[in-house]
Amino acid sequence: MLRCGPSRLCRSARLTSVFVVCLLCVACAHTAEDAKAAAVTHLKKGNALRDLHLLAEAEHEYDLALASYADAANVHLSRGQVRYLQKNYRGAVEDFDFYLSKAPTDVKVLLLRSLSKSSLQHPDIAGACADLRQLKNLGVSLEQSGVGGADQYCHGQEGWDGH
C-alpha cells in the first residue's frame, strides 16, 4: 500500500498507481459479470478499510470498484460517505447526486447531501434547502431528524415561506 504525504510527487504516484491498477481491473474484466464481481471485491475491501477508519485507502478501493463498474450506485454511496468523513464535501455531493439519481427518496442520503452542500467552502444554500424541502415533501419532520433552524436557514429560498 502506497503511503506518503500530500506532496505533488506523492499525489502523482497515487494517481499513477490507481491508473495502473484500474487498467489491470479493466483488462481482467472480460464481461459485465466479471466487472461487477471485481467491483464487489473492491467494495468489500473498501468497506473493511472504512470500518478500520482508513478512509483514504477505502476511497481508493471504491475508485477501483467504480473503474470496474461505474454504474454501481452503492459504491458511489459508500465513496460519498467516506468523502464526507474526509471533509471532501464537493466529492461527496457528486457521489450522492449519482446515488440519489437511482434512489431519489433515500431520506438519510438526502439529509447527508444537504449537510454536504451546507459545508462547502462556498455553501450551496439553495441546493441544501432544496434537499430539505424534498425531505419535508416526503413527510420527514426535520426537527425530529435533528435539523433545527431549517426555516431560518432556508428563509427566502424557493419553496420556503411561500416563495
47 or 32: which carries more pLDDT confidence?
Answer: 47
pLDDT at 20: 47
DSSP state of 121: S
d(CA 64, CA 96): 18
List the one residue out of 76, 70, 77 whose CA is nearest residue 26.
70
What are the domain boundaries of the chain? 1-103, 106-163
Superfamily assignment of 1-103 in CATH?
A: Tetratricopeptide repeat domain (1.25.40.10)
Q: Quick: pLDDT tens for 77-125.
A: 999 999 999 999 999 999 999 999 999 999 999 999 999 999 999 999 9
Q: Which pTM does this prediction carry? A: 0.79
